[in-house]
């Protein structure tokens, strides 16, 4: 029987690649994000190309009422979620702390931290009841290091790391696995969103080969397909040219 995976932030980048990868390896997928049209297109692609079922569910993770309503609307057969990928997230702006904008801070904290908690709150009770499940939180190298002008984004990803550890401890009695994936540079819409610059990727990844979203998705598939007794706690994944959040070899 196919498992059910819910992926937040599936309209783009790592979440989209993960939805496709999980659909290709025995999962039916609930795909979420704010951009409903993209979700509909992806659901169609998954059904046709990957022969899996895909249910689009559009909501904003920052709005708990929307999150609750979205989960209430799930048909019964989709409610028993086996795998939750908490991926929706963003960096907004890249300023020194003294120049940071309040609305950017709020967007990052509300999405990366509170949104992850709101979604998890809906999924954990049924996992606990069934005595199984797997939650994978997408943090970042920014959850392990703080870099110049990374301040609040790094804080949100450090929070994801702490929440992941807390979840692993509290959910341990119920047989639920909790993992964290911490990528370095991945070429997605991340930098375009962060810098509000359509050409951002040509600048941020200049002279190096960043990770592809599919590289991270493959790692997630590996993590969620281990045998029942194996729990991968934490994976830090860089492109080969990157050594830390601030050190990268570029051929310019």
Using CB under 6 A as the criterion, which residues of the chain lie in contact with ligand 8X3 when the complex forms?
A: 140-142, 150, 184, 245
Encoded one letter per residue, x for contact with ligand NDP by CB under 6 A and - for no contact, window 68-87 reads -------------------x
Identify whether the C-beta of residue 163 lies closer than 8 Å to the C-beta of residue 101.
no
138 binds, among ligand NDP, ligand 8X3, none (CB under 5 to 8 A by kind): ligand NDP
Pairing of strands 133-138, 83-86: parallel
Q: How far is the CB of 104 from ligand 8X3 (least distance, A)?
A: 14
Partner touching 111 among ligand 8X3, ligand NDP, none, CB below 5 to 8 Å by kind: ligand NDP
Sheet holding 133-138, edge to edge: 54-58, 27-33, 3-7, 83-86, 133-138, 176-183, 234-237
Residue 52 belongs to what H/E stretch? none
Site for ligand NDP contains 186 (CB under 6 A): yes
The first and second tokens of residue 57, run together, are 């569910």
Per-residue binder mask for ligand NDP (CB under 6 A), 120-139, x = binder: ------------------x-
Residue 131: other Cβ atoms inside 10 A: 10
With CB under 6 A as the contact rule, the residue among 88, 127, 152, 163 that binds ligand NDP is 88
- The bridge status of strand 54-58 relative to strand 83-86 is unpaired
Residue 168 structure tokens:
């692993």
Q: Which residue is nearest to ligand 8X3 (CB)?
A: 140
Question: Are 211 and 187 contacting, i.e. CB atoms less than 8 angstroms apart?
Answer: yes
Applying CB under 6 A, does 237 fall inside the site for ligand NDP? no
Q: Which residues bind ligand NDP (CB under 6 A)?
A: 8-15, 33-35, 60-62, 87-90, 111, 115, 138, 140, 183, 185-186, 188-190, 193, 213
């Amino acid at each position: 029987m196919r498992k059910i995976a819910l992926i937040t932030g599936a309209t783009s980048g790592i979440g989209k690649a993960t939805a496709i990868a999980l659909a290709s390896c025995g999962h039916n997928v609930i795909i979420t994000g704010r951009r409903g049209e993209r979700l509909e297109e992806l659901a169609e692609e998954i059904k046709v190309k990957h022969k899996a079922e895909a249910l689009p569910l559009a909501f904003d993770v920052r709005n708990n009422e929307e999150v609750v309503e979205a989960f209430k609307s799930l048909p019964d057969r989709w409610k028993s979620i086996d795998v939750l990928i908490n991926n929706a997230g963003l960096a907004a702006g890249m300023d020194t702390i003294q120049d940071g904008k309040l609305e950017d801070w709020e967007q990052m904290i509300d999405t990366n931290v509170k949104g992850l908690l709101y979604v998890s709150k809906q999924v954990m009770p049924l996992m606990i009841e069934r005595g199984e499940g797997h939650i994978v939180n997408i943090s970042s190298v920014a959850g392990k290091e703080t870099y110049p002008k990374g301040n609040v984004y790094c804080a949100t990803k450090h929070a994801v790391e702490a929440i992941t550890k807390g979840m692993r401890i509290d959910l341990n009695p119920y047989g639920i696995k909790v993992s964290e994936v911490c990528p370095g540079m991945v070429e997605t819409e991340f930098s375009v969103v962060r810098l509000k610059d359509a050409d951002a990727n040509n600048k941020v990844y200049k002279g190096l080969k960043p990770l592809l979203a599919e590289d991270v998705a493959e790692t997630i598939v590996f993590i969620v397909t281990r045998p029942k007794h194996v729990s991968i706690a934490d994976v830090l994944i860089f492109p080969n040219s990157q050594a830390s959040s601030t050190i990268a070899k570029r051929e310019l």
